[in-house]
Copies of this chain bind each other. A is one copy, B any other.
């Protein structure tokens, strides 16, 4: 026996389950980690909020479906997007077998342009202040948050949460919002500088009665 992809026609007693793609879209705004949610204005689970998602379109690969969702809901492309986990039976209503492939994305809040619709309006919610969610989406979001915290330790994933030029302090605030704790300024700067993820520019930004801050850029992407 082998996979359906490998031998589609011969397996006994199978069915073709629903396959959905979910995209947890994170941003950091007002020093808080936020997720994009959409209000369900019709049953089932009417009035609750849910992670953006939808069925796989015809002849569409998973990655392209995730990219499409991101463009549809947040009007952005070309940012951090990674597969998270594939959930089964999130609606836990027998008969079982529904499959939802969850992804998570990181978006610079300033660049996002939310979809405008008459129904199913989207909105940002801080992770520590989520509304009632549909379909066990708490689980999906929490899984995404854990992965994000992990990714942050050893990748430059944060590039996707900030504009092209940013100050060290802004970067630190992003890290603090995600990790949910304050960081020591000196240790943070040393660690980040040693990481090679970012490089200094010759630009500075003055925004108050204090010394202007040097601007940095990510080296790897954007």
User: Taking beta carbons and an 8 Å cutoff, which residues of A are in contact with B?
Assistant: 1-8, 11, 13-22, 38, 40, 42, 44-45, 50-63, 72-73, 83, 85-91, 94-101, 120, 134-135
Contacts and interface: CB of A to CB of B under 8 A. Distances in A.
A150 to B, nearest CB: 11
A2 B59 CA distance: 19
| Secondary structure dominating the interface of A | loop
Which 5 residue pairs are nearest across A and B when measured between Cβ atoms? A3-B20, A4-B20, A4-B55, A3-B53, A14-B55
A5 to B, nearest CB: 4
B94 A53 contact: no
B44 A2 contact: no
A90 B3 contact: yes
A149 to B, nearest CB: 15
